[in-house]
Amino acid sequence: MNDEAAKKIVSLLMAAAQAEARKTLPGWVQDNWLSALSDIFQKGLYHAWLAIITNAVHLEADVVEIIDERQSLTDSSVKKDG
């Protein structure tokens, strides 16, 4: 995949992450969270995604879905002191 196409895909990933945060996070935490996310992008996530996508042999999709199948943290799954 060429660099320009990969950069467009990474930009879409970043925009989608930010839009989802704005949609789901409460207002009082959005500014801090979005600032931290931007910092993570600048410190290397952007370049990591770019390297992965640039080196992909073939990438084609109208919709991409990432499913997190890890056990979610609940009160019963968190160890409590004492």
Domain-wise residue ranges, the chain? 3-63
pLDDT in tens, 12-65: 888 888 888 888 888 888 888 888 888 888 888 888 888 888 877 566 777 766
Q: What is the mean pLDDT of residues 57-77?
A: 64
pTM of the model: 0.57
Please give the residue that has the higher pLDDT: either 82 or 17. Answer: 17
Q: What is the mean pLDDT of residues 67-81?
A: 57
Residue 38 token pair: 């931007």
> Contact 13/49 with Cβ under 8 angstroms?
yes
Q: How many CB atoms lie within 10 A of CB 10?
A: 21
- The per-residue pLDDT for 82 is 45
